[in-house]
């Protein structure tokens, strides 16, 4: 049994999607500290730990490192169980940056699994909510569904950012609406070198938006990516990451130890790994 907490201010309305969850809940315990209505729901379904619908409390609760660690481990396990993560050293994958890699994390697969995609979109929503953005932005193409679900959960407008402006029709780079002068959180499915996500952040900035954060499901934790975001003065975070993935895979014996050693070697020096193993890196994909 899991516990779902829904918190709202006394005048607040629960969104439809939450109401559906509430109706399915076994038992609701209500209390109040004067300013907040506090509803504790004993939740029978797997997968959903908690949702916070009050900003102040969300920040204090979600800021606790152990919560983030638990969440990162849970999502890493999903990536492994749903075979989003695959390893192939015989024919290493080519990344959009041109890097060769023995590991690929295909988060596109996650949209196929309703329970897991709910866990991830709720995790995103909890974090995005603490920034109170005007708009949720998704990078094309893989983050469009995540941005859609998060925007629906938070009842916010959504846009998506193309890799390049469309060459016909309205010729837009950002689709959905005008983000000039308003705040945005950008969602991405995955960060390797950070090039794609930073392009999206820059596109939003050039369109006149204030980018509050760029959040991804997964990051390989490359120094190169972290430096790019520092240089761009853009806050960034990920729901889970390479080191957590490796830790969970090792503990639960989901990846054999020699493969773990190999992907760790790749991760410490991704530029060198391909050439050293007879697979030169290639030009970045356009």
Dihedral over Cα of 219, 118, 124, 149: its sign: positive
Q: Does 224 bind ligand ORO (CB under 6 A)?
A: no
For ligand ORO, the closer of residues 130 and 196 by Cβ is 196
* Span 77-96, contacts to ligand ORO by CB under 6 A: 95-96
In whole angstroms, the minimum distance from the beta carbon of 101 to ligand PRP comes to: 10
Pull the structure tokens for residue 78: 């999903």
Binding mask 102-141 for ligand ORO (x = CB under 6 A): --xxx-----------------------------------
138 binds, among ligand PRP, ligand ORO, none (CB under 5 to 8 A by kind): none
CA distances in angstroms from 10 to 58, 132, 133, 216, 258, listed in the order given: 16, 19, 22, 32, 55
- Reduced DSSP (H G I as helix, E B as strand, rest coil) percent helix, strand, coil of the chain, to 5: 40, 25, 35
In whole angstroms, the minimum distance from the beta carbon of 188 to ligand ORO comes to: 10
Any residues with CB less than 8 A from the CB of 83 and at least 6 apart, and which?
109
* Span 136-175, contacts to ligand PRP by CB under 6 A: 139-142
CB 182 within 8 A of CB 156: no
* Span 187-216, contacts to ligand ORO by CB under 6 A: 190, 192
What are the phi and psi torsion angles at 274 (to 5°)? -60, -60
Binding mask 171-190 for ligand PRP (x = CB under 6 A): -----------------xxx
Site of interaction with ligand ORO (CB under 6 A): 95-97, 104-106, 190, 192
Site of interaction with ligand PRP (CB under 6 A): 95-97, 139-142, 188-197
């Amino acid at each position: 049994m899991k516990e779902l907490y829904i918190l709202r201010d006394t005048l607040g309305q629960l969104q439809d999607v939450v109401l559906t969850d509430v109706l399915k809940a076994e038992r609701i315990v209500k209390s109040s500290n004067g300013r907040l209505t506090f509803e504790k729901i004993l939740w029978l379904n797997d997968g959903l730990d908690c949702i916070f619908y009050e900003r102040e409390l969300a920040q204090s609760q979600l800021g606790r490192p152990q919560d983030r660690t638990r969440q990162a481990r849970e999502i890493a396990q999903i990536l492994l169980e749903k075979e989003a993560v695959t390893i192939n050293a015989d024919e290493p994958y080519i990344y959009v940056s041109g890097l060769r890699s023995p590991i690929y994390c295909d988060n596109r697969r996650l949209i196929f699994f309703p329970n897991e995609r709910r866990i991830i979109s709720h995790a995103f929503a909890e974090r995005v909510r603490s920034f109170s953005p005007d708009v949720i932005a998704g990078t094309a193409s893989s983050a469009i569904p995540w941005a859609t679900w998060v925007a629906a959960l938070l009842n916010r407008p959504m846009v998506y950012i193309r890799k390049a402006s469309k060459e016909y029709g309205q010729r837009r780079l950002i689709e959905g609406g005008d983000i000039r002068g308003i705040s945005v959180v950008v969602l991405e499915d995955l960060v390797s070198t950070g090039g794609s996500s930073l392009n999206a952040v820059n596109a939003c900035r050039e369109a006149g938006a204030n980018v509050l954060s760029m959040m991804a499901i997964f990051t390989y934790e490359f120094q190169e990516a972290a430096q790019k975001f520092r240089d761009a003065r853009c806050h960034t975070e990920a729901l889970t990451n390479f080191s957590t993935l490796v830790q969970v895979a090792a503990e639960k014996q989901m990846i054999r130890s020699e493969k773990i050693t190999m992907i760790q070697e790749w991760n410490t020096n991704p530029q060198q790994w391909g050439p050293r193993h007879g697979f030169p890196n290639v030009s970045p994909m356009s």
